[in-house]
Chains A and B, each alone.
Chain A
Amino acid sequence: DGGITQSPKYLFRKEGQNVTLSCEQNLNHDAMYWYRQDPGQGLRLIYYSQIVNDFQKGDIAEGYSVSREKKESFPLTVTSAQKNPTAFYLCASRPNRAGNQPQHFGDGTRLSIL
């Protein structure tokens, strides 16, 4: 079955450490997204990419970085510059740029500070 795979499910970060969250999709979708969700809150957009080798900052990009070297993959790095990284991170993808297409989500990665 096609879908979005996020790994790991749980991740712990030490002070001053960079960590990378994986997101892979086999849906042949062009666009991919990273969201952050804090407890009891909605979704906030970190980065998005509409095509390979191109990505744009979302509303809360500071302290995060991404790459889009392959259509299937959109890894997110949480850098040491992100002082409050504890959150639930969700990756999503979308077939194309048409507005009537929904986003499809992975099961998320929960990041905590050690």
Chain B
Amino acid sequence: GDSVTQMEGPVTLSEEAFLTINCTYTATGYPSLFWYVQYPGEGLQLLLKATKADDKGSNKGFEATYRKETTSFHLEKGSVQVSDSAVYFCAVSQGDSNYQLIWGAGTKLIIKP
């Protein structure tokens, strides 16, 4: 079945460091790919998305490129801030008619000043 594998956390970085959180997936057809962010005690917010191969989603300095050849959707940011500390979830839409989202386990990001 479809699945999503994320880099295990926590990931701890210093402020202004470069961030990469890896996400790979297995899915049939042509899924859409999403990154969500969850701040402590809150629900999930959509961070960015990509709907076809080679699309690049971007928002708030974060970027991710839909790589069909490597089935990956890695999240990157050039210079992280303390306020980026949160849990990040990668998700893939199923290719069947239910259009469910398959979720990664989440990666906790800690940014130290």
Contact = CB atoms under 8 A, between A and B. Distances in A.
Do A and B actually bind? yes
B93 A108 contact: no
Nearest to A107: B43
A81 to B, nearest CB: 24
Given A100-B93, A106-B43, A42 B104 contact: yes
A94 B91 CA distance: 14
Contacts of A40: 108
Given A90-B44, A100-B51, A107-B42, A45 B104 contact: no
Contacts of B41: 108
The range of chain B's interface size is 20 to 34
Interface residues of A, number: 25
Interface in A20-47: 31, 40-43, 45
A108 B89 CA distance: 16
A99 B104 contact: no
Nearest to B9: A40
A102 to B, nearest CB: 5
Given A41-B106, A42-B104, A97 B43 contact: no
Given A41-B106, A42-B103, A102 B42 contact: no
Interface of B: 31-32, 34, 36, 41-46, 49, 51, 89, 93-95, 97-101, 103-106, 108
